[in-house]
């Protein structure tokens, strides 16, 4: 099934309309191309279907076990998987920022994204403007950045100014996860820009998925806790959230090359 969602309002003629397909019990979000921008298993709409999206939650490893619910921000809504998980499963306050109005409409119509409430705000806005707004600074405990256009070739926002805005957005002790293509030549440049904003000693990565998605973690505060403490946190995450956190820990490493040396 292919269904095009009629836009309420297009912010820009360059934004591709959201389309939806289904295969083998999974619904997929596209932006007018075969590239998958998000997915939802129909029988388990709150589950994180895609492996790289699950790994975007690896920021949980850097929070103490039993930490109170905080504020999670998603830049790039995708199929709303992260937003729904943080809102319903973690019971966190969530803010999702999405420029493409048809993506928001598709998520509400086809991907079980609930209406805004006291703990959920979906904002149609440019992520660059959002992180630059001083009113939002130091308000996010977790920040997930997944910003790709319909061609899915490289991040739409990927300069040092943007990552400095992400750093400013985080509260002390907050963690950012970023989806990058680890096998692409642009990965090193992206990692260096993140390092310029956060410091290479406050960065780590998970080894790439089979598809090449590499999740980079960057945080505001002290370094990584001891491995034994991370292992205890991973067990707690698996028990409470059903996410493969022990696997994340096995995949967690310093960034390669010059950045790893700096760290």
Q: Output the DSSP codes for 26-69.
A: EEEEESSSSS--EEEETTBTTS--SHHHHHGGGGGGGSPTTPPP
The whole model's pTM is what? 0.91
- Is there a contact between 83 and 96 (Cβ–Cβ < 8 Å)? yes
SS (H, E, C) 60-113: HHHCCCCCCCCEEEEECCCCCHHHHHHHHHCCCEEEEEECCHHHHHHHHHHCCC
Q: How far apart are the first and last CA of the chain?
A: 48
Domains of the chain by residue range: 50-262
**R_g over Cα of the chain:** 17
Rounded Cα distance between 115 and 99, Å, is: 17
Residue 11 and residue 126: Cα distance in Å, rounded? 10
* SS3 of 150-169: CCCCCECCCCHHHHHHHHHH
- Could you give the 3-state DSSP secondary structure of residue 180? strand
Place of tokens 């998987």: 81
Those residues with Cβ within 8 angstroms of residue 146's Cβ, 6 or more apart along the chain or in another chain: 56, 74, 75, 76, 78, 82, 178, 179
Domain 50-262 fold: Rossmann fold (3.40.50)
Q: β-strands 93-98, 71-75: how paired?
A: parallel
Nearest-CA neighbor of 230 among 104, 76, 59? 59
Q: What distance in Å separates the CA atoms of residue 65 and residue 26, rounded to the nearest whole number?
A: 32
Residue 193: CB atoms within 10 Å: 18
* 10-residue averages of pLDDT along the chain (263 residues): 35 77 97 92 97 98 94 98 98 97 98 98 97 98 87 78 98 96 79 96 95 95 92 97 97 76 42
CA 96 vs. chain centroid, Å, equals 10
Contact 132, 37 (CB under 8 A): no
pLDDT of residue 256: 77
């Amino acid at each position: 099934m292919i269904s095009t969602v009629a836009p309420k309002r297009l912010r820009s003629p360059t934004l591709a309309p959201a389309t939806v397909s289904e295969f083998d019990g999974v619904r997929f979000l596209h932006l007018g191309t075969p590239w998958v921008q998000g997915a939802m298993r129909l029988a388990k709409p709150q589950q994180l279907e895609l492996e790289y999206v699950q790994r975007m939650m690896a920021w949980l490893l850097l929070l103490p076990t039993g930490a109170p619910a905080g504020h999670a921000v998603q830049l790039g809504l995708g199929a709303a998987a992260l937003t729904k998980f943080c809102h319903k499963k973690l019971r966190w306050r969530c803010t999702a920022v999405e420029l493409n109005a048809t993506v928001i409409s598709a998520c509400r119509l086809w991907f079980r994204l609930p209406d805004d409430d006291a703990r959920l705000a979906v904002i149609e806005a440019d992520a660059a403007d959002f992180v630059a707004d001083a009113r939002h600074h130091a308000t996010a405990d977790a920040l997930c950045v997944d910003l790709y256009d319909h061609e899915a070739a490289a991040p739409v926002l990927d300069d040092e100014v943007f990552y400095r805005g992400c750093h400013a957005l985080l509260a002390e002790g907050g963690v950012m996860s970023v989806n990058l293509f680890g096998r692409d030549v642009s990965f090193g440049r992206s990692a260096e820009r993140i390092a310029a904003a956060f410091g290479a000693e406050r960065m780590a990565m998970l080894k790439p998925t089979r598809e090449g998605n590499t999740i980079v973690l960057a945080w505001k505060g002290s370094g990584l806790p001891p491995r034994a403490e991370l292992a205890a946190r991973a067990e707690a995450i698996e028990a409470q959230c059903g996410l493969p956190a022990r696997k994340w820990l096995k995949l967690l490493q310093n960034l390669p090359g010059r950045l790893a040396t700096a760290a």
